[in-house]
Structure 1
Amino acid sequence: MIDNLNLDQLRVFTAIAEQGSFSAAARHLRRAQSAVSNAIVNLEAALGVALFDRSGWKPALTNHGRALLDDARAVLARADELKSRALGLTQGLEADLTLVLDAMFPPKQLVALVAAFRQAFPGVPLHLQVDTLDDIPQRVLSGECDLGVQGTLSDIAPALVAHGMHKVEMMPVAAPAHALAKLQDITVAQLGEHTQIVLTDRSASAGGRTFFVVSEQQILTTDLGAKYAMLCAGLGWGFMPRGFVEECICAGRLHELALAEGACPNRNMPLFAIQRRDATLGPAGQWMLNWLVEPGGGQRLPAPHVP
Structure 2
Amino acid sequence: MISPITLDALRTLDAIERRHSFAAAAEELCRVPSAISYTINKLEEDLGVALFDRSRRKAELTAIGRLVLEQGRQILKATEELTAQARRAADGWEVELRICVDSILNCDPVYDLIEAFHRIQPKTEIRLSEEVLGGSWDALNDGRCDLVIGADGASPVQGFALHSLGEVIFEFAVTVGHPLTELPMPLPASVIHDYPTVIVADSSRHLPVRSSGLLDGRSRIIVPTIEHKIAAQCRGLGVGYLPRHRITRELAEGRLALLTLVTPRPPEQIYVAWQRNNAGKGLKWFIEQLKKMRFDADGGGLTQAQKP
TM-score by length of 2: 0.60
Asked whether the 8 Å contact 1:89–1:95 carries over to 2, the reply is no
RMSD, matched Cα: 3.0
Residue 89 of structure 1 deviates from its aligned partner by 8.6
Aligned residue in 2 for 1:283:
281
Sequence identity (%): 20
Q: Aligned with 1:157: secondary structure?
A: coil
- Aligned partners of 2:192 and 2:120: how far apart in 1? 47
- Aligned partners of 2:156 and 2:273: how far apart in 1? 9
Residue 211 of structure 1 deviates from its aligned partner by 1.0
Describe the superposition over 1:176-217 as per-residue Cα deviations: whole angstroms up to 9, x where unpaired.
02112333322233333322101121459x962111112333
Aligned residue in 2 for 1:269:
268
Aligned residue in 2 for 1:92:
92
Q: Give the aligned residue type for 2:244.
A: R
Q: Which runs of 5+ in 1 are unaligned?
A: 1-87, 300-307
Asked whether the 8 Å contact 1:133–1:150 carries over to 2, the reply is no
- Aligned partners of 1:182 and 1:119: how far apart in 2? 53
Q: 1:290 to 1:283 in 2, by over 3 A?
A: same
Residue 175 of structure 1 deviates from its aligned partner by 0.6
Match of 1:251 among 250, 253, 259: 253
Asked whether the 8 Å contact 1:95–1:124 carries over to 2, the reply is yes
1:196 is the counterpart of 2:194: no
Describe the superposition over 1:224-261 as per-residue Cα deviations: whole angstroms up to 9, x where unpaired.
2221221111011111112211011101111112334x
- Runs of 4 or more off by more than 4 Å in structure 1? none
After TM superposition, the structure 1 = structure 2 runs for residues 140-159 of structure 1, keeping only pairs within 5 Å, are: 140-159=140-159
Q: Aligned with 2:247: secondary structure?
A: helix
Match of 1:221 among 197, 215, 223: 223
Describe the superposition over 1:144-201 as per-residue Cα deviations: whole angstroms up to 9, x where unpaired.
2111135333234113222222211112111102112333322233333322101121
- Aligned partners of 2:192 and 2:291: how far apart in 1? 35
Residue 142 of structure 1 deviates from its aligned partner by 2.4
Asked whether the 8 Å contact 1:195–1:215 carries over to 2, the reply is no
Q: Which has the larger radius of gyration?
A: 1
Describe the superposition over 1:37-94 as per-residue Cα deviations: whole angstroms up to 9, x where unpaired.
xxxxxxxxxxxxxxxxxxxxxxxxxxxxxxxxxxxxxxxxxxxxxxxxxxx9964211
Aligned residue in 2 for 1:174:
174
1:128 is the counterpart of 2:109: no
Residue 294 of structure 1 deviates from its aligned partner by 2.6
Q: 1:243 to 1:112 in 2, by over 3 A?
A: farther
Q: Give the aligned residue type for 2:284.
A: Q
Q: 1:164 to 1:235 in 2, by over 3 A?
A: same
- Aligned partners of 2:98 and 2:247: how far apart in 1? 27
Q: 1:271 to 1:227 in 2, by over 3 A?
A: same
Q: 1:252 to 1:96 in 2, by over 3 A?
A: same
